[in-house]
Structure formats: structure tokens, C-alpha cells
């Protein structure tokens, strides 16, 4: 039982640490931030939240601390582009 408790605790802390590594969406260029590049993402459906989440995951995957969505379009298949900053 102790091992199960330790395993669950480790999983919870690991998941929490990944959440803190996520990139944050910004509406303006952050002060002292350096542009790292541009990312693209697409999702099926009309859910802008899913597109934003996909862009956030890609930004975090490239080591960005923040990102700014510069375009989003589509109909039943959304496409988005964002600038990433570090």
C-alpha cells in the first residue's frame, strides 16, 4: 500500500511540474522577451480553445515561455499561427 501511495504522489507531482512549464499566451510582446520563431497548428472542429491549447503545447515544446497568436482561420478545420518568445 505504501508503494502505491508513493507512486500516486510521484505521478501527481510530475503532472504538476509539466503544467508549470506551459507557455503563456500574451496579447503584446513581453518586455525583454526575445522572439524565437513562428509555430503553426491545426485542429479539426470549430473549437478555438483546442487550437490555443495546441499552439501552447507546441510553444512549450520548443522552450518558449510565451506566445502570441497572430492568425487563426478555418471552418471545421482550424489553422493558427503564433510567434513564440523566450
Q: Which domains does the chain have, with CATH numbers?
A: 23-85 (3.30.1660.10)
pLDDT at 17 over 60: no
Q: Give the model's confidence band at 16: pLDDT under 50 very low, under 70 low, under 90 confident, else very high.
A: very low
- The span from the CA of 69 to the CA of 67, in Å, is 7
Q: Which of 4-13, 21-30, 31-40 has the lowest mean pLDDT?
A: 4-13
Average pLDDT over residues 17-35: 80
Pull the grid cell for residue 71.
492568425
Residues 6+ apart with CB under 8 A from 55: 25, 39, 41, 67, 69, 80, 82
Model pLDDT for residues 45-79, shown as the tens digit of each residue: 989 999 999 999 999 999 999 999 999 999 999 99
Task: Please give the pLDDT value at position 21.
Answer: 62
Amino acid at each position: 500500500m505504501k508503494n502505491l501511495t508513493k507512486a500516486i504522489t510521484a505521478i501527481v507531482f510530475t503532472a504538476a511540474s509539466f503544467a508549470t512549464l506551459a507557455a503563456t499566451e500574451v496579447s503584446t510582446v513581453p518586455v525583454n522577451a526575445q522572439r524565437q520563431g513562428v509555430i503553426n497548428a491545426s485542429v479539426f472542429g470549430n473549437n478555438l480553445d483546442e487550437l490555443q491549447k495546441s499552439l501552447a503545447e507546441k510553444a512549450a515544446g520548443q522552450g518558449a515561455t510565451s506566445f502570441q497568436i497572430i492568425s487563426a482561420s478555418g471552418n471545421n478545420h482550424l489553422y493558427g499561427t503564433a510567434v513564440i518568445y523566450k
